[in-house]
Structure 1
Amino acid sequence: MNHIAKKECNTCDHTETKAHKGIMNFFSEESFERLQSIMYVKHAAKGDYLFWEGDTADKLYYVIQGGVRITKLSDTGKSFILYLHQAGDLFGQMDPFQNSLQSFSAEVTEDCKIGVIQRKDLEVLLWQHGDLAIEFMKWMGLMHRMTESKFRDLMMYGKPGALCSLLIRLSNSYGIPNGKHTLINYKISNSEMADMIGATRESVNRMLSDMKKEDAVEFHNGQIMIKNAAYLRDICHCENCPLEICRM
């Protein structure tokens, strides 16, 4: 299975977006190959769930091809979309050396080819290779920081701030240059964006309309063009987080 992810990723729809390296930002090539050696391949169709909130958290998932979104159900029954994972991403809640439960659910958004890593196999690798263990700790730390920053977006600067932060994250994850502007090469509905920031579709419609009047965004064939990123950063009080954190 060595190098399967590198070969498959070349067919992904988002290969021309901003340098998305997935977990290669965190793991050396040697460590990545060790992780590949313990993966088994799982296929999943659009609409399937890889796991549900409350399931046993004993696996990690590496996206070889396709897309997955991570959702969280609130106490009131509202579903929040927290992450959009694409080819090259590693995800899943797993606490090495102890049992835990999934805090989120994972829904397949386009037909997927997934590399699955079982906890028991990962534990052996972490015991055997100290350099991999350190890189794994760094990856886990950054994933926690990413989650914290998203909850900050939802709570600190209101719905306009949360929406502006979302647009910046989408731009960092799926943006492609278009002259002086950035086109988000990912079709997303206003309803989906509402689920990502805990707002209604109508309020997202209104906020996007206001941004368009300010010449900060445009819309092309269902996609969003960022024309004034500085305007968005001002509203969400951007802290200039690294791209590894400020992404979907």
Structure 2
Amino acid sequence: MLKQILKNLFLFAKLNDTQLDKICALIKEKSYKKNSIIIREGEAGANVFFVVEGSVKITKISPEGREYTLKIVGQGDVFAEVILFTNLAYPANATALTNSRLASLAISDLETLISKDASLGIELIRVLSQRLYDTQNKIKQLAVHNVYERTLILLLDLARNQGLDEQAHHNSFTLAVPLSRTELANIIGTTRETLTRMLGRLKQAGLIKIGENAIELNLSKINQAQLIN
């Protein structure tokens, strides 16, 4: 099962079975209860993590002590991969947003493996370069979209973390929202008040229905609206 999970991760998707078997032998799994701290910003970067079950909140703390949510990673996602091939500390905090099961790979073990298999290192560099390119495109996308559109993009991204792609053929999708309005606003670079107004507009347009700790996305209307390219 672990091998199949790794095969579906962007980081290892292009590796052959022999390379995957070697990676699997180095993986360690651990369960975290909701709100458990996984890594802290500034700690020595020792591991890269993969979400097997659950979801994780990635945050940074401002000099004034305010927490800013950067993103949410869900099942099948990778985090802390930015420290690969570097001696850098973790650049952000990671906290279990729900009860979660994570797999981790020690950077030192991976580097030892790469020293014996140069093709593995080359493939990982290619994948990480593509990830950086995709991230730059996402930043550019957010820059050209207004707050209304960024709010919808955020909801869709969160829904994908909860399995939207497997239900994309359905007319609707119910998104569990474990974050506060302030945390959601931080992710798209706006205020809580503005986010609340944008959710109201999306609701008025019939694109969403807002419940208690959940938002129902009307996928049919969202696709018809063609707000996001």
TM class, shorter-chain normalised?
0.7 to 0.9
The residue that corresponds to 2:145 in the other structure is 157
1:94 corresponds in structure 2 to: 83
Note the C-alpha offset of 1:130.
3.4
2:217 is aligned to 225
Query: May I ask how many residue pairs the two structures share in their alignment?
Result: 221
Select between 43-52 and 136-145 the one with higher mean Cα deviation: 136-145
Given the alignment of the two structures, is residue 186 of structure 1 paired with residue 179 of structure 2, yes or no? Answer: no
Match of 1:64 among 40, 52, 56: 52
1:139 to 120, 124, 127: 127
Distance 2:218 2:180 in 1: 16
Instruction: Give the Cα–Cα distance (whole angstroms) in 1 for the partners of residues 168 and 121 of structure 2.
Output: 40
2:15 aligned partner, one-letter code: S
1:178-226, Cα deviation, whole Å (9 max, x unpaired): 8752314433445132232132322222111111222222335623213
Distance, in Å, in 2 between the alignment partners of 1:147 and 1:76 is 27
Please report the RMSD computed on the Cα atoms of aligned residues, expressed in angstroms.
3.1
Give 1:107 shift.
0.9
Q: Distance in 2 between matches of 1:132 and 1:64?
A: 23
CA contact (8 A) 2:208 2:215 kept: no
- Give the conservation status (yes or no) of the 8 Å contact 2:60–2:69: yes
Seen in structure 2, the aligned counterparts of structure 1 residues 114 and 66 have a Cα distance that, compared at 3 Å, is same
Work out the CA distance in 1 between the residues paired with 2:144 and 2:206.
25
Aligned equivalents of 2:98 and 2:3: distance in 1?
A: 17
- The residue type paired with residue 223 of structure 1 is I
Task: Give the Cα separation in 2 of the matches to 1:5 and 1:223.
Answer: 34
- Retained in 2: the 8 A contact 1:5–1:88? no
How far does residue 100 in structure 1 lie from its aligned partner after superposition? 0.8
Query: With structure 2 as the length reference, what TM-score do the two structures score?
Result: 0.78
Percent of aligned pairs sharing the same letter: 19
CA spacing shift, 1:49–1:152, aligned 2, 3 Å:
farther
Equivalents in 2 of 1:68, 1:204: separation in Å?
22
Aligned 8 A contact 1:171 1:182 in 2: no
Aligned partner of 1:110: which letter? T
Task: Tell me if 1:38 matches 2:26.
Answer: yes
Q: Secondary structure at the match of 2:194?
A: helix
Q: Tell me if structure 1 keeps the 8 A contact 2:28–2:105.
A: yes
Whole-angstrom distance in 1 between the partners of 2:159 and 2:98:
20
Distance 1:183 1:158, change over 3 A: same
1:201 maps to 192
- Which moved further from structure 2: 187-196 or 120-129? 187-196
Q: Is the 8 A contact 2:174 2:215 kept in 1?
A: yes
TM-score by length of 1: 0.73
